[in-house]
A and B are shown apart, each in its own frame.
Chain A
Amino acid sequence: MAEDVLKSGDLPENPERATLEGRNKFMGFWFFLGGETVLFASLFGTFLALRNSNAGGPAAEDIFGLGLVFIMTVLLLTSSLTSVYAMYHMKNNDFKKMQLWLGITVVLGLGFLGMEIYEFYHYVHGYEFGFTTSAFSSAFYTLVGFHGAHVAFGLSWFVALMIRNAKRGLNLYNAPKFYIGSLYWHFIDVVWVFIFTVVYLLGKVG
Chain B
Amino acid sequence: MADHTNSVENSEKHEFYKKKHREQMKHQVVTFVMMIAFTLIAFGLVIAEVSAMFTIPIILVLAAVQVLFQLYYFMHMNEEGHQWPAVMIYSGIFAAVLTILALTTITWW
Contact = CB atoms under 8 A, between A and B. Distances in A.
Contacts of B46: 66, 201, 204-205
A66 B43 contact: yes
Contact of A88 (B25, B32, B67, B81): B25
B103 A92 contact: no
Nearest to B102: A45
Contacts, number: 125
A85 B71 CA distance: 16
- Give the interface residue-count category, chain B: 35 or more
Given A45-B99, A194-B63, A38 B25 contact: no
B78 to A, nearest CB: 13
A193 B92 contact: no
B89 A33 contact: yes
Contacts of A204: 46
Contacts of A17: 81
A45 B35 contact: no
Interface residues of A, number: 50
Contact of A85 (B25, B43, B47): B25
The dominant DSSP class at the B interface is: helix
Interface of B: 17-18, 21, 24-25, 28-29, 32, 35-36, 39, 42-43, 46-47, 52, 55-56, 59-60, 62-63, 66-67, 70-71, 74-75, 81, 84-85, 88-89, 91-93, 95-97, 99-104, 107
25 contacts: A30-B89, A31-B88, A34-B92, A38-B92, A41-B95, A41-B99, A42-B103, A44-B96, A45-B103, A45-B104, A49-B103, A49-B104, A49-B107, A77-B36, A78-B32, A80-B74, A81-B74, A84-B25, A183-B75, A189-B70, A189-B74, A197-B62, A204-B46, A205-B52, A206-B52
